[in-house]
């Protein structure tokens, strides 16, 4: 994955025909190189329909997910393999280039204790099988570090790198998110430097998950570090400005994070592109 992208949740949280049409047309209208499609309900996705829309709008795609509790790899690796392989098949049928996100667990997965070696063994086995399946389909497979309040297993770039190297597949990459990094890294630039050899995908998300440039994320160190490592991957705007109220509990979004979606499109997208140009990334 390379270029600029935007998360489909700016338009929809339901990937049915109407949601797919709205999101893909919207991403194309805003001149994105690709769209990130969340696979929340794999069984309901019409991959053929999505592929036709992507081809119509000359738009590339990556898919993402968060693992549901019955398929958490740390506890139920066999169920995780089944879920990940189904997601990968759907992504491939859609014409996507990668499956990424919290592929190692859930965003409400915490045992109350530090991760154990047994949990990492289960992750390695399940994600290793999934990565091999991804490779057979020509897909890249990502691992996104998230903050400690969402998951206890992979919080930092260094932990994501360790898991990638433990799996040992050349199609497995690190996915970082600026929202999570501001909580977990000892300097966001250091996280990018730690992941340099494996970093292929960036979520550019503000500290309140609203409009990039309107919060507390240190954008200049982030783009400077990406330039320093010669980053050639995906830069994806992720904002929850258009999140419906019924999704609030899943991501702890209790109040509006931007004036409206148009503010994110008009100000956030231009902010990110300008920073990328400023640091020689575009």
Specify whether the CB–CB gap between 263 and 240 falls below 8 A. no
253's tokens: 């979004």
**Would you give the DSSP letter of residue 4?**
E
Give me Rg for the CA atoms of the chain.
Answer: 17
Q: Per DSSP, which regions of the chain are E strands?
A: 3-7, 34-38, 60-66, 98-102, 140-144, 172-177, 199-204, 234-237
Check 109, 119, 144, 150 and give the catalytic one: 144
| Complete DSSP assignment for 107-138 | TTB--SSPPPHHHHHHHHHHHHHHHHHHHHTT
40's tokens: 């929340």
Partners of 35 in the β-ladder: 6, 61
Q: Does residue 184 have an active-site annotation?
A: no
Q: Does residue 109 have an active-site annotation?
A: no
Three-state DSSP at 12 gives coil
| Complete DSSP assignment for 224-259 | HHHHHTT--SEEEE---TT--GGGHHHHT--S-SSS
Q: Output phi, psi for 36, to 5 deg.
A: -95, 120
Dist. CA 17–CA 23, nearest whole Å: 10
Specify whether the CB–CB gap between 199 and 174 falls below 8 A. yes
**Catalytic residue annotation:** 144, 238
């Amino acid at each position: 994955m390379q270029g600029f992208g935007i998360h489909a949740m700016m338009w929809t949280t339901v990937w049915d025909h109407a949601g797919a049409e709205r999101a893909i047309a919207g991403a194309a209208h805003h001149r994105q190189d690709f769209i990130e499609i969340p696979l929340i309900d794999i069984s309901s996705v019409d991959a053929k329909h999505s592929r036709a829309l992507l081809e119509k709008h000359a738009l590339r795609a990556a898919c993402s997910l968060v693992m549901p509790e019955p398929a958490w790899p740390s506890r139920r690796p066999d169920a995780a393999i089944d879920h990940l392989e189904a997601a990968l098949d759907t992504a491939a049928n859609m014409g996507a280039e990668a499956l990424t996100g919290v592929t190692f667990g859930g965003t409400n997965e915490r045992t109350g204790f530090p991760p154990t070696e047994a949990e990492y063994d289960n992750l390695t086995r399940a994600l290793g099988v999934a990565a091999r399946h991804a490779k057979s389909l020509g897909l890249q497979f990502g691992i996104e570090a998230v903050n400690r309040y969402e998951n206890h297993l992979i919080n930092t770039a260094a932990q994501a790198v360790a898991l990638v190297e433990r799996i040992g597949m050349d199609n497995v990459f690190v996915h970082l998110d600026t929202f999570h990094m501001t909580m977990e890294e000892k300097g966001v630039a250091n996280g990018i430097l730690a992941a340099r050899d494996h970093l292929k995908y960036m979520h550019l998300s503000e500290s309140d998950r609203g409009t990039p440039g309107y919060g507390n994320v240190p954008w200049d160190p982030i783009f400077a570090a990406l330039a320093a490592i010669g980053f050639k991957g995906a830069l994806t705007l992720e904002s929850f400005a258009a999140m419906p109220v019924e999704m609030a509990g899943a991501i702890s979004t209790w109040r509006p994070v931007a004036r409206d979606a148009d503010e994110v499109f008009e100000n956030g997208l231009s902010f990110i592109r300008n920073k990328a140009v400023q640091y020689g990334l575009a």
